[in-house]
Amino acid sequence: MIRILTDSASDLTATDSARPGVYTVPLSVTFADGTGGLDGVELTADEFYAHLKVDKVPPRTSQPSPQSFMTIFEDAKENGDQVIAILISSNLSGTYQCARLAAESCDFEDVFFVDSRTASQGEAILVREALRLRDEEHLPAHAIVAELEQLKQRIRVLAVVDSLKHLHKGGRLPAAVALVGGALGVKPVLSVVDGQIKLADTARGRPGAFVAMFKNIEKMGGVDPRYGYALLYSDEKGVLAPLHHYMHENLHMTGGRVARLGLVIASHAGPGCAGLVFVTKE
């Protein structure tokens, strides 16, 4: 059997997580008062967002323990299974490196690692494609990984955020970029490029930021309808209205996923985030 291993930063749905052979290793979130816990295990989304709205200091996130990976690797080794590990960008977290070290520590060689170079629903696209290739195309593990390595080059993430405070304090954004994007009245548009969070554009006010986002969709090559798209929000679903309208009325695309950001990514994006994840056209 081919197991598909990922981390909680992929924000998999309950349906995806329940599919045979899917394993998710949780990262952890810690608030300024010292409380927190494992993402989705010891800390619920409702508890997290209640904190996020009132805390002045952004929460901290931590990579999984090596033991959490070793438990899965040792079980796979005992049962003669292969593992494809699809993990959050190595530029955003130490999770990828932790998993590799865990495999070495328990002498498990039948594992294929994929540095997703993205996170959240971008990472989830790769997990779902791995499952499709395994269950529908019946490809062997090495062939699945080869397909994923090609696909990940085309995954794009764009987001409008209220503030860059959380990203800057969490060490995911250089001070110079945070300064430009944090100017008075300016709303930043962020992108994930080659596994790193970058400032894609800026505009006056949130409406202007959405227009800038729409222009960047086309600059990046447009949306490949075969993979659909995902709309992301942190605390308020209503912020997605302009994105909904643009995707439906301008691009004539329907059926996109609507997903709330998981605890790990929302810790850095902060409240008021509205994002789009898509695969560019070939």
User: Which pLDDT value is given to residue 166?
Assistant: 56
Do 100 and 217 sit in the same domain of this protein? no
Q: Is 36's pLDDT higher than 80?
A: yes
Interatomic CA distance for residues 239 and 151, integer angstroms: 29
Q: Same domain, yes or no, for 98 and 169?
A: no
Domain boundary among 125, 153, 181: 153
214 and 102 in one domain?
no
* pLDDT at residue 174, rounded to an integer: 52
Q: What is the pLDDT of residues 164-207, one digit of tens each?
A: 765 655 555 555 454 454 555 678 888 988 888 888 888 888 89
pLDDT tens per residue across span 145-170:
999 999 999 999 999 987 676 565 55
Co-location of 69 and 88 in the same domain:
yes
Mean pLDDT along residues 97-111: 97
239 in the same domain as 103: no
Q: Note whether 93 and 170 are same-domain residues.
A: no
Residue 42 confidence (pLDDT): 87
Pick the last residue of a domain from 153, 183, 216. 153
Q: Provide the strand spans (E) within 116-228.
A: 155-160, 186-193, 196-204
- Written as six digits, the tokens of 71 are 């438990």
Kindly state whether residues 70 and 145 are assigned to the same domain. Answer: yes
Determine the structural domain holding residue 175 and report its residue range.
154-279
Range 61-71 average pLDDT: 95
